[in-house]
Amino acid sequence: MKVLLVGGGAREHAMARAVKRSDDAALVVVMKHRNPGIAALADDVALLPETDVDAVVAYAKEQGCDLAVVGPEAPLEQGLADALTQAGVPTASPSAAAARIETDKRFMRELMAKHQVPGRLDHHHFDDETAALAFLDEHGPVWAIKPVGLTGGKGVQVHGDHFQDLDGAKAYVSQVFSKGTGGGAVQFEELAVGEEFTVMAFTDGTTVLPMVAVQDHKRLREGDEGPNTGGMGSYSQCDGLLPFLTQGEYEDAVLIVQALVDALRAEGCPYVGTLYGQFMLTAAGPKVIEVNARFGDPEAMNVLWLLETDYVMLLQAMVEGNLEARKVGFRPNATVVKYAVPQGYGDGTPEAGTPVTVDEAAIEALGATVFYASIEEQDGHLRTLTSRTLAVLGEGETISEAEQVAEKALEHVHGDLFVRHDIGTPAVIAKRIRNMQHILAKEA
């Protein structure tokens, strides 16, 4: 079985390892930059733009791949999964039509409304700047404002966080239209108040097999300050829930994922692959903040590290449409992932070329691990590129134990890098629980 993996970040490093845990799976990889962690696992690597559909398909055919899986969303939007499937390489990632659940926020909200998927939020869409500004004049500034298309997770601005008043809201809307960000159309969404969490699932278009819940940390700095990033780190708990999330609330989120999958099938674009639901747990239960057509990054590291089921078997079952006959299991432990990023990432101009050294053996000896991301080997030395550099993962019986292991692992990473050390600490976990209690009490 020869598997093609597309993508070269830490998420794909986690996917590559999961593939290689499977007996006699060969792995070939297409990525933009040579991720040293993935390259060490791969039987062959092609350095290509991941969105160059023709080149990726030609490579898959030349390599004689039996199966493919795509990490990032941009190639999905370009129809890579469709093209690979057409070329005879079954692909456990969604078609461009199904991936609109991520790539077109208007499609996602309208699909939820049409099919009465629970977890809906009020939403208003504008292609025209004048109309969008008039809407704000009439309805005030209390919204989440989103460019409609892909922005790499950095395009959302929220009232109370990123802007405080009508002028601030209007300034952002005008900026989206003048810069053409995310397709140059905006969506205003009802503000959901609560704690965020992620539930991802494997699906063959009908059956949904959910994974353990994870909480990501989008804000750059400790105490949830600073701009939104791709995600600075994440944790999961041994029972698959989170310290502020009950079994019933988790199950509500899974029902929402199932309803989304059912809705996409009913629309004639069945969704095959990993589906990512980002939720806000509010006083009225989980609400959908965003849906992604892929694994989350960093969340993929938490769940794939714990995955006990053969990943290649799951990929096959998804493309063959027989996931119903399968079960998915996770090691019942907690995980904490912390990203190390170049100085300036998120709110400045990160400089590429910073030297980094990693003592992988010392990290593995802790029962921890390192996932490489935006980093390259040059003349035998690791050097940063401009995005998130690498992530460490600690595992333990409790989140706190896993957090301490992750911190010990970071002592074996050297270089001028920035880390949010507060992720998974007892103080931050307590704050999350208090926040949720406060929201529930206010509502009661």
H/E run at residue 289: strand 285-292
Give the nearer residue to ligand AMP in terms of CB position, either 121 or 439.
121
Residue 144 interacts with ligand AMP (CB under 6 A)? yes
Among 93, 228, 234, 274, binds ligand AMP (CB under 6 A): 228
Minimal distance in Å, beta carbon 298 to ligand GLY?
A: 6
Residues 212-231 that bind ligand GLY (CB under 6 A): 216, 231
Residue 292 interacts with ligand GLY (CB under 6 A)? yes
Minimal distance in Å, beta carbon 153 to ligand AMP?
A: 5
Piece in contact with ligand AMP (CB under 6 A), picked from 36-44, 164-172, 175-183, 190-198: 190-198
Piece in contact with ligand GLY (CB under 6 A), picked from 12-20, 127-135, 289-297, 433-441: 289-297
H/E run at residue 247: helix 247-266
Residue 310 interacts with ligand GLY (CB under 6 A)? no
Residue 374 interacts with ligand AMP (CB under 6 A)? no
Residue 299 interacts with ligand GLY (CB under 6 A)? yes
Residue 436 interacts with ligand AMP (CB under 6 A)? no
Residue 196 interacts with ligand AMP (CB under 6 A)? yes
Residues in a beta bridge with 381: 378
Minimal distance in Å, beta carbon 50 to ligand GLY?
A: 16
Cβ neighbours of 393 (radius 10 Å): 29
Residue 191 interacts with ligand AMP (CB under 6 A)? yes
Q: Which of 274, 259, 148 is nearest to 214 (CA)?
A: 274
Residue 403 interacts with ligand GLY (CB under 6 A)? no
Q: Residue 403 binds what, of ligand GLY, ligand AMP, none (CB under 5 to 8 Å, by partner type)?
A: none
Give the nearer residue to ligand GLY in terms of CB position, either 145 or 317.
145
**How far is residue 288's CA from residue 198's CA, in Å, rounded to a whole number?**
10
Half-sphere exposure (CA, 13 Å, Cβ side) for 436? 20
**How far is residue 185's CA from residue 182's CA, in Å, rounded to a whole number?**
7
**How far is residue 17's CA from residue 34's CA, in Å, rounded to a whole number?**
16
Residue 241 interacts with ligand AMP (CB under 6 A)? no
Residues 107-136 that bind ligand AMP (CB under 6 A): 121
Give the nearer residue to ligand GLY in terms of CB position, either 46 or 423.
423
Asked if 297 and 10 touch (Cβ cutoff 8 Å), the reply is yes
Q: Which sign, positive or negative, has the C-alpha torsion 406, 407, 413, 415?
A: positive
Q: What DSSP designation does 114 have? A: H
Q: Which sign, positive or negative, has the C-alpha torsion 317, 323, 327, 333?
A: positive
Our CA dihedral for 217, 219, 221, 222, rounded to 10 degrees, sits at: -40
Minimal distance in Å, beta carbon 9 to ligand AMP?
A: 17
Antiparallel, parallel or unpaired: β 195-203 and 208-210: antiparallel
Q: How far is CA 330 from CA 239, 243, 308, 322, 377, in A?
A: 9, 18, 5, 20, 33
Piece in contact with ligand AMP (CB under 6 A), picked from 183-191, 203-211, 254-262, 305-313: 183-191
Q: What residues have CB less than 8 Å from 211, skipping those under 6 apart? A: 199, 200, 201, 202, 240, 303, 307, 328, 330
Q: Residue 156 binds what, of ligand AMP, ligand GLY, none (CB under 5 to 8 Å, by partner type)?
A: ligand AMP
Q: Residue 103 binds what, of ligand AMP, ligand GLY, none (CB under 5 to 8 Å, by partner type)?
A: none
Minimal distance in Å, beta carbon 54 to ligand AMP?
A: 30
Q: Which residues bind ligand AMP (CB under 6 A)?
A: 121, 144, 153, 156, 158, 189-192, 196, 218, 228, 278, 280, 289-290
Binding site for ligand GLY (CB under 6 A): 153, 216, 231, 292, 296-297, 299
